[in-house]
Chain A
């Protein structure tokens, strides 16, 4: 061999890892390429392989699959209550969206809401139903994870505007703008209740947006969960992140948002 690389595998046992963004079924970015649908068993197996203790999971796939996928997430969370945290995927275009929200949060114990403006055809700040969803998110004290980086549906300035309008709601910008939006850092600085999730978009330094404002997510099965996680470790190993910042990004910040106690999985 000429050259060669051995990965510096530094999955430290004492870091609690909570993946803030995963799917069962499919994802927005896989469903148009493949009919494959991923199961809860496959997700947990992947978490075990990568050293991920817990994951926030929502259903993904085609827009008409939303209700079916929410049910699958319920089953998954019941099967793996110590590993998976349910997020309900909601489309404000559906007439019973608030009923679904109430049901999954109150009855099924889901701890968050997932919105996909691009796929479900609505625009942040231009969809009146969102106000009712956010009012309930505030009432139930659950975060709202929203796809980002795709104008005109969901760009950073819109996140900051709505976070300003609903200061009691935690908004999580999935993908941190998809590396496509140059207003992410400035928008996050405007409001304290806007959190940046790392999948695809990469790790934005807490030094530029503040402590407890960045959370690790993979958007699995879109990406390699291991690669997305390795990016966080790579930043740490390069000295870009302190251990405290790394711990926050990997899981402790998200655990705080969800109101759960960080707990290493028994694998």
Chain B
């Protein structure tokens, strides 16, 4: 309870521009929305003492036709600049653009804009995770050896089986299963991990303790990354959930931060 954890939050978002539910789109200009996000991130990091986080913007996932060259990913570049190394950016590609354009923009994001990972949201964006339209993204991830975090759920676009399929096609790319199947596909998670050693789990959105314990026992804590899908004020509850797992203290340290630090090449304590 009193332990100070080294925490890396592998799954965070900002909402600058569009959002999934129109009623929740901030009714302010993009500049003002970004300013508020930066302010909130700074306060949140100070309050909770989290070491690092990986962040993407919701807008490029939601918009089917981008309004700028990178569809809102630019806001993440600005956020990372202002967060003094605490935040790393995850690039959200628009896989509906022509393959050459997807490849070019994704590479530009990694090489020139400083993104350290890819974020995909097949459910919200409406594409199957293992569809050939996504191959250009994974080609670049493989070239630069950066991880791909994707939403998972029982949506037909991102079941754990599709993770296994794309992970086997790109064994050099760490593929992080955000939400680890969420509240229904519990029984697909471990079989998918058995098929591909490059599948990792991210803990937000799932609360089934025994599943996480089984995953750690079979595959090791290095394949489990702590995440909030925030940042939000429920961090203490999310940490408590990991603290209460029936796994070793060392395993908890890996889940809380070391696993993500290793994948994202961040300094460890």
A interface residue numbers (CB < 8 A to B): 1-9, 29-30, 32-34, 149-150, 175, 178-180, 200, 221-224, 226-228, 230-231, 233-235, 237-238, 240
**From A33, which residue of chain B is reached at the shortest CB distance?**
B210
Chain B's interface: helix, strand, loop or mixed, by majority? Answer: loop
| Contact among A221, A226, A234 with B234 in the assembled complex (CB-CB below 8 Å) | A234
Kindly report which residue of chain B lies nearest to residue A8, judged by CB atoms: B236
Give the docked Cα–Cα distance between A180 and B207 (Å).
14
Q: Is B241 positioned at the interface, with any CB of A under 8 Å from its CB?
A: yes
The stretch of B24-32, B44-52, B65-73, B158-166 in contact with A is B44-52
- Residue pairs across A and B with Cβ atoms less than 8 A apart, 16 shown, are A1-B6, A2-B267, A5-B5, A6-B49, A7-B236, A29-B186, A29-B210, A30-B210, A33-B211, A178-B183, A222-B210, A223-B207, A230-B237, A234-B235, A234-B236, A237-B233
Q: Are B211 and A5 in contact (CB under 8 A)?
A: no
User: Is residue B22 within 8 Å, beta carbon to beta carbon, of the partner chain?
Assistant: no
Please give the distance in Å from A124's CB to the nearest CB on chain B.
Answer: 18
A150 near B237 with CB under 8 A, answer: no
User: Shortest beta-carbon distance, A226 to chain B, in Å?
Assistant: 5
Nearest CB to that of B206 among chain A residues? Answer: A200
Q: Nearest A residue to B236 by beta-carbon distance?
A: A7
1/0 per residue, CB under 8 A from A, across B235-269: the answer is 11111110111000000000001000000000111
Chain B contact patch, size range: 35 or more
B233 near A228 with CB under 8 A, answer no
In addition to A5-B7, A5-B235, A234-B233, 7 A-B residue pairs with Cβ atoms within 8 Å of each other are: A1-B6, A3-B5, A29-B208, A180-B184, A224-B209, A226-B244, A230-B234
Minimum CB–CB distance for A174 against chain B, Å: 12
Q: How far is the CA of A226 from the CA of B207 in the complex (A)?
A: 12
Closest B residue to A239 by beta carbon equals B233
- Once A3-B49, A29-B186 are accepted as A-B contacts, the answer to whether A235 and B210 lie under 8 Å apart by CB is no
From A230, which residue of chain B is reached at the shortest CB distance? B237
Q: Is the CB of B241 within 8 A of A223?
A: yes
A205 to B1, CA, bound (A): 27
| Cβ distance A216 to chain B, nearest Cβ, rounded Å | 12
Are A5's CB and B183's CB within 8 A?
A: no
Contacts of A237 in B (CB 8 A): 233
Name which residue of chain A comes closest to B261, CB basis. Answer: A2
A224 surroundings in chain B (CB, below 8 A): 207, 209, 240-241, 243-245
On whether the beta carbons of B6 and A7 are closer than 8 Å, the reply is no
A230 and B51 contact, CB distance less than 8 A: no
Give the distance in Å from the alpha carbon of A30 to the alpha carbon of B233 in the complex.
28
**Complex alpha-carbon distance, A223 and B205, angstroms:** 12
What 5 A-B pairs have minimum CB-CB distances, sorted nearest first?
Answer: A4-B4, A3-B51, A238-B233, A227-B241, A230-B237
The residue of chain A having its C-beta at the shortest distance from the C-beta of B211 within the complex is: A33
Q: From residue A140, how far is it (CB to closest CB) to chain B in Å?
A: 32
Contact call A231/B234, Cβ cutoff below 8 A: yes
Set of chain A residues within 8 Å of B100, measured between Cβ atoms: none
Q: Which of A3, A7, A30, A149 contacts B183 (CB 8 A)?
A: A149
Taking CB atoms, residues of chain A closer than 8 Å to B235 are 5, 234
A contact residues around B208 at 8 Å (CB) = 29-30, 33, 222-223
Residues of chain A within 8 A (CB-CB) of B268 are: 2
